[in-house]
Amino acid sequence: MNTPLLTGAYTALVTPFNADGSLDEAAYAALVEWQVTEGIHGLVPVGSTGEAATMSLEERVRAVRITVEQVKGRVPVIAGAGGNDTKVAIETSKAMAAAGATHLLHVSPMYSKPPQRGILAHFRAIADAAPRPVVVYNVPGRTASNIEAETMLALAEHPNIVALKEASGNLTQITEIIRHRPATLSVLSGDDGLTLGVIAGGGHGVVSVISNAVPRLTAQLCDAASRGEVATARAIHLRLHAFTQAAFSESNPIPIKAALAMMGRIQNQLRLPLVPLATQHVARVRAGLLEAGVVLA
């Protein structure tokens, strides 16, 4: 399989909802279009930032279809398809591929806490059956289990596993993967605060939360870092620092949805058990946006 490396900034899209809890399709399409015109390198709908855990399969497929239809082939669409039931994850993969996704994002199984050999078996079964290239997502803070470097490198030998979204926050582990990865594997930061460090260390980009609100700057940061333009990349990194910190003042995607609402791009609607941003964090998010140069509604 000859799949180009995934490089640059990929937005982990929020899912806009209406006040009645339904999918706000107009806001979704507008957000996707804005992301692409701002220069983002790819989009990742219905992941954890997209509140996929509270969406039906039908809703998730619809969100991916909207993304694909609006993108019109201009950038990759990496659809969230993961779960802790391997059989269901495979069926979800097929549904997302049918909806037009170019790649499939699969998170390590949550709750079940499989041993490393179980993680290997899970991802290999998915990669064998998936009709699109697979991006592995390691996020121990949500899944309660880490994909160790040795395990990931073994998975990278599979021809249908093409990238890793690494959100362990462990630069030592990430560096070990980068050092020994095959040339066919992209390593993408799963933490906005580590984007510069990961690319400087040999990684390829980021799957970003903050790029929902600052897509152009996030893409420019990745481009500059990848070209070795350290001063430019550092300046953007520092400009985004306050907002990056504010964007995780409560569980994602609570702060980023508040930020997008401040920008007039979506309604500040979440599905329970998530709730709107606590009052004490609002000023911090607003200040971070302003420091990044964002014009508020």
Asked if CATH classification 3.20.20.70 holds for the domain at 8-224, the reply, yes or no, is: yes
Per DSSP, 111 falls in state: S
Q: What is the pLDDT of residue 231?
A: 98
Beta carbons of 10 and 35 less than 8 angstroms apart: no
pTM for the full predicted model: 0.97
At 186, the amino acid letter reads S
Q: What is the bridge-based pairing of β-strands 103-107 and 42-44?
A: unpaired
Give the start-to-end residue ranges of the domains of the chain. Answer: 8-224
pLDDT in tens, 116-136: 999 999 999 999 999 999 999
Q: Choose the catalytic residue: 10, 28, 165, 257.
A: 165
Q: Choose the catalytic residue: 10, 28, 137, 257.
A: 137
What one-character-per-residue DSSP string does 179-233 give?
A: HH--TT-EEEESSGGGHHHHHHTT--EEEESGGGT-HHHHHHHHHHHHTT-HHHH
Q: Is 10 a catalytic site residue?
A: no
Q: Is 137 a catalytic site residue?
A: yes
pLDDT in tens, 209-236: 999 999 999 999 999 999 999 999 999 9
Q: How far is CA 194 from CA 221, 235, 252, 276, in A?
A: 12, 14, 16, 26
- Tokens for 133, please give them: 């290239």
Spans in the chain with pLDDT lower than 50: 1
Q: How far apart are CA 167 and CA 129, in angstroms?
A: 25
Beta carbons of 287 and 262 less than 8 angstroms apart: no
